[in-house]
Amino acid sequence: MTETPQSPAPASNAENPLLKPWQTPLETPPFGEIVPEHFLPAFEQAFADHAAEVAAITHDPSAPDFANTITALERSGKLLAKVSAVFYDLVSAHSNPALLAIDTDVSLRMARHWNPIMMNAVLFGRIVQLHENRAALGLTPEQLRLLERTYTRFHRAGAGLDEAAKTRMAEINERLAHLGTAFSHHLLGDEQEWFLELGEGDLDGLPDSFVVAARAAAEERGLPGKAVVTTSRSSMEPFLKSSTRRDLREKVYKAFTARGDNGNANDNNATIVEILALREESAKLLGFPTFAAYRLEDSMAKTPEAVRGLLERVWKPARTRALADRDAMQTMIAEEGGNFALAPWDWRYYAEKLRQKTANFDDAAIKPYLTLDGMIAAAFDCAHRLFGVTFSERKDVPVWHPDVRVWEVKDASGKHQALFYGDYFARASKRSGAWMTSLRDQQKLDGDVAPLVLNICNFAKGAEGQPALLSPDDARTLFHEFGHGLHGMLSNVTYPSLSGTSVFTDFVELPSQLYEHWQEQPQVLRQFARHYQTGEALPDDLLQRFLAARKFNQGFATVEFVASALIDLEFHTQPASASRDVRAFERAELEKIGMPAEISLRHRPTQFGHIFSGDHYAAGYYSYMWSEVMDADAFGAFEEAGDIFDPATAKRLHDDIYSSGGSRDPEEAYIAFRGREPEPDALLRRRGLVETPQAA
């Protein structure tokens, strides 16, 4: 068992900034005053406060009603939410060994805190009584939705189990909390430990923007004047696309795909085996045959069969397209005199060559026009034109790292709506990937609480005094995360549990993926894609070639994603005993679906943080594609209106999707916006995939 980290305690809780009112602009976290030693005392106080609040609800002698049970639950745990938000932001975006040690301890304490609350028979009895009589309570639609979601949450947590089953469920939850934290720490450890130093002769083919970022990464690792490749996707992807050194591409690729699978202290294989066994056991305790069946019951998809149907429908044309691209690249290798078979570390390099040949376009041509500041301005301008919001930078708000920027968001009337934090650059203290989260959620239960919304990315920095330049994929990622951010910033609900992104996992990606569409619109790019040196607008010829090349390599992108989603589904559908050898399970599943040998999973199991660092996307990685069916169809509403900023369509999008949070059923919300259910073929059209006989 992990011991509690021994650190000097603050003088007293009265001096702990996490436990005092924040005398900062808009009551934002005072990051400059907070040190790791403040967290455990703050969590202890927060756990105690929350337990007392829940006990008061449980032991209320009055008959249960919506106010003394559901609303009271919504008001409980404010300090815990406040402390947790700051802590997990730092653990993910700017960690250090002290924070990671505390994280291991807190994850266990968190499970031990929530287990007796979520399995409290008396409390659940009050909720059940209200749920059974809900039609007679005179509730508003939002209150009714909250009651239904509260009942479902407690029921699915095991509140209705017998005492022996509750005890075992609590043990499982505690162990899963520990294992999920360990998984993410292992992955971060492997990412921090590996890098490849590049000598002067190792830079062939690499664009200047990459070399600048590689030198910055080396300096951060105590190697001034050197250049390094790391296992951050923002480093690995451009290196594999551009480096002429096949031997170095192989090294980088193998290091990237081996994260968490090196047989060292950071190895995640045994962790995965135990996680899967415990998830299966918990699902069976709750009466479900598999964890996937349990997880998907409370989703738009509803069943594993529905998920598999969507993924297989997309898999066949994607695989066919990928195999055709593979053959074209193999021909190109032969034409160049190469005497080797295309390997996974060659795909991105030759795909770029093939794109230059067939579409006369490569990322390096457009990158000088995609500055980080330009794409931020584009994202803000689209939000203003769609929803009336404005953004003004604030320099007086405390941040957790000097690179973090903050903007105040105001609505069309000039009223304060939110604060938006942008943390865009890769660093060793930040986990890989890109995500949106919040330091405070919107709600109106006790006053009009404006949210504090965060976007965290891992883009490469520019040289000293030079702007950061984004690839088209980076620019798309920025718009994607900002779409999530808008979902949080535009939220307009009363109850905290229904705020912002508190929706089904297979609906939460709709606002983010839909927002990506505006990034690639000609009128947006013509205005905001400007050369970082000359200020020249993106030339029309290059713009047209970029737009024409968008669907290039979609076979590869779709195959690597769908294969990962299918592996996730199989991990959680098949008996846990089938995956005791994780590598063998992975190989067998890829062989079963006919995975091209030249393409790897977007996330191999040992680095699949989406599904193993916690359970948010477990049996749910398909959600991105489920939402893409909706987002591809939803953007059609603007195209049909003849204006990508059509006011009437934008108002429906705001009211039915972005501002409603979890206050209504997602299917009902989508139909209210679109007037009908989504058309599934929109996804295949967007990706440029057509149904054809599957290649051998």
Which residues form the catalytic set?
A: 481
Round to whole Å and give the CA distance between 541 and 274: 54
Round to whole Å and give the CA distance between 103 and 355: 45
Is there a contact between 498 and 153 (Cβ–Cβ < 8 Å)?
no
- For 322, the token pair is 């990928």
- For 619, the token pair is 């049996």
Query: 623: which residues sit within 8 A by CB, 6+ positions away?
Result: 299, 505, 506, 508, 509, 617
Is there a contact between 170 and 196 (Cβ–Cβ < 8 Å)?
no
Helix (H, G, I), strand (E, B) or coil at 296: helix
Helix (H, G, I), strand (E, B) or coil at 385: helix
Query: 97: which residues sit within 8 A by CB, 6+ positions away?
Result: none
Is there a contact between 166 and 154 (Cβ–Cβ < 8 Å)?
no
Q: Fill in the amino acid letter for 142.
A: E
Query: 473: which residues sit within 8 A by CB, 6+ positions away?
Result: 237
- For 555, the token pair is 């076979």
Main-chain dihedrals φ then ψ at residue 471, nearest 5 degrees: -75, 165
Q: Which residues pair with 196 in a beta bridge?
A: 229
- For 254, the token pair is 């193998």
Is there a contact between 442 and 451 (Cβ–Cβ < 8 Å)?
yes
List the one residue out of 174, 36, 35 whose CA is nearest residue 110: 174
Is there a contact between 205 and 164 (Cβ–Cβ < 8 Å)?
no
- For 282, the token pair is 């918990």
> What does the chain come to in residues?
696
Q: Fill in the amino acid letter for 8.
A: P
Is there a contact between 619 and 569 (Cβ–Cβ < 8 Å)?
yes
Q: Look-up: residue for tokens 């990606």? A: 509
Helix (H, G, I), strand (E, B) or coil at 414: coil
- Quickly list DSSP for 140-157: -HHHHHHHHHHHHHHHHH
Round to whole Å and give the CA distance between 375 and 538: 13
∠ at Cα 695 (692, 696), nearest 5°? 150
CA distances, 212 to each of 255, 578, 597 (Å): 22, 46, 33
Q: What is the CA radius of gyration of the chain?
A: 25
Round to whole Å and give the CA distance between 240 and 532: 24
Round to whole Å and give the CA distance between 314 and 682: 11
- For 84, the token pair is 């947790």
Note every long-range contact of 196-199, with CB atoms under 8 Å and residues 24 or more positions apart, other chains counting.
196/228, 196/229, 196/248, 196/251, 196/252, 196/255, 197/223, 197/226, 197/227, 197/228, 198/226, 198/227, 198/228, 198/229, 198/248
Torsion, Cα 69 73 76 82, to 10 degrees, reads -170
Is there a contact between 603 and 610 (Cβ–Cβ < 8 Å)?
yes
Q: Which residues pair with 418 in a beta bridge?
A: 409
